[in-house]
Structure formats: structure tokens, C-alpha cells
Structure 1
Amino acid sequence: MTLSSHSKLPLWMAIILTLVMVVVVRELAVVICSWAGIEKAANIVGLVAMFLILMTWRLIRGLPHWLTQASNTLLVDSGFAFLPVSAGAGILLFELGDELWGVMITMIISTLIPLWGLGILANRWLNSSDTLDTSSKSTERQE
């Protein structure tokens, strides 16, 4: 079975493949960071490695539909995983006293600016890929 960018995989298999990919990259990062003596950096090394792998894959072959579909499903459904952590952090925030507003403003600014920037980049990226898709389809129709 080949996994081209147009292959139709069932959602459950796409989710399993996506999770296996994430676990393998993260565990390889743990092994590499253990060998390098920087065990605490394993998560960020895995994150950067996964980013580089996906960017390279996207630029060379294009991301497959099954990966996009599984990632979207996992991101939407995994929001509930952070709910207990958020509730605990919210409770602890109110124990800060006078420092509450400074911490809240810092959290809001440090969240909104990266999200704003990511939104702009995603919009440009999606619009440029739509333009490329449209121009390639119109070129194919003319031939």
C-alpha cells in the first residue's frame, strides 16, 4: 500500500499513523538528547525535528490528505486534555495577590502576539497554496 498525497485511508488508521509518527520522533529525540547529555531538551528537540520533517515533506511531495485530516481531528478533540491543567492554573493564579494583573497581562500578550503572527503566516501560506493549486488546475485544463 502506497501512501501518496491522494490516498484514502480510514480516519482511524490515519490517526494511528499520525500518533505513531509523533511518538517515534519524540522517542528518537529522547534517545539523542540522552546521548548528548541534555535530557531536559528532548521535548523541544522533538518538536523542532517534527516541524522540520513536516516542512520538508510538504515542500518536496506535499502533505497527504490523511495526515491533515488526522491532525485536525486530534487537535480538535485533544483540547479537553488541557482542561484540568487550565483549571488548576486558573485556581493558582488567584493566589498571586497583587501580581495577578501583571501575570495576566504577560500571559495575554505572550499568547496573542504569537497567535496573531501564526494566523498571518497561515493565511499567506494557505492563500499562496490555493493560488498555486488554481493556476496548476487552469494550466492542466488548457492543455
Structure 2
Amino acid sequence: MKPTSLSKLPVWLAVILTLIMVILVRESAVVICQLLGMAKAANVVGMVAMFLILITWRMVKGLPIWLTRASNILLVDSGFAFLPVSAGAGLLLFALGDELWGVILTMAISTLIPLWGLALLSNRWLSNTVDTDTKRKGQS
């Protein structure tokens, strides 16, 4: 991919352009979903549309450096955006009553089992020992 004049955009302009692109796709999804009578699906439709746009852009032309840099900045700095959602979910958990312990157990199991599997795979991948799965009989 040849560097273009757009690849030398200042960071602040790249962030603004990225935000404009995200807002346009999301608001277009809201309008389309409202016209189709399924307004609650707008966020998912917008997310899938943005994914398809970015995949197509990457396959056809390649993603510009400014978009990648701005996206990384937005992802790193937007970690605090999830705090209100987490706090609200925590408060709602206590409104479950008798179902609270079942929900907590389900969340713990569905989190711990994948983490345990990932830890096993990571340990195998990162270890310097011989992989016994691919080792043939008679070889040392």
C-alpha cells in the first residue's frame, strides 16, 4: 500500500474522522432499522455494517494508517466508557432475588472454564518442552 497524503493526518483529525465515520454508520443503522420497524436492533445492525465496511475496505484497498492509529487511541482511552454499564449491571444483579446465585454461578463457570482452557493452551505454546502430541513413536 502506497502512503498517501491522508496517512500523514494529525492524530486529532484522524480521531475526529474516525468518530464521524462511526457516528454516520450507527445513525444510518438507526434510521434504517426504524423504517423497518426493528429499532432495537440498530446497534447490532450498525456494528455488523461497520464490520462489513471495514473488511471490504481492507480487502479492496487496505486500511489507512490514520484509521488504525485513531482506532487504537479511541479503544485505549474509551475504557472508562464501560464503567457506568458495569455499575448498572452490578446493581441489577441484586434485584434478581432468588436467581442471584444461579446467575453468579453461571457467570463464574462460563468465565473460568474458557480462562482455564486458554491457560492450558498458553502454557503448552509458551513452554520449551517437546510437544508430545506430534511426537512420533520411536523418536526421542
Residue identity opposite 1:52 in structure 2: L
TM-score, normalised on structure 1? 0.66
What is the DSSP-based 3-state SS (H/G/I as helix, E as strand, rest coil) of the residue aligned with 1:63? coil
- RMSD between superposed Cα atoms in Å: 2.9
CA 48–5 in structure 1, closer or farther in 2 if over 3 Å, else same: farther
Q: Which amino acid aligns with 1:42?
A: A
Q: 1:40 to 1:94 in 2, by over 3 A?
A: closer
> Which stretches in structure 1 are left out of the alignment for 5+ residues?
118-143
CA distance in 1, matches of 2:78, 2:112: 19
Q: Percent identity?
A: 68
CA contact (8 A) 1:5 1:64 kept: no
One-letter amino acid of the counterpart of residue 60, structure 1: V
Shift of 1:59: 1.2
Q: After TM superposition, list the pairs within 5 Å mapping 1:22-41 onto structure 2.
A: 22-41=22-41
The residue aligned with 2:56 is: 56
> Which runs of 5 or more structure 2 residues have no equivalent in the other structure?
119-140
Check whether the contact 1:8–1:66 (CA below 8 A) recurs between aligned residues. Answer: yes
Q: Structure 1 or 2: larger helix share?
A: 1
Cα 1:75/1:93, change in 2 over 3 Å: same
Corresponding pairs, count: 113
Deviation at residue 52 of structure 1 after TM alignment? 0.2
Deviation at 1:105, TM superposition (A): 3.9
Q: Distance in 2 between matches of 1:57 and 1:44?
A: 20
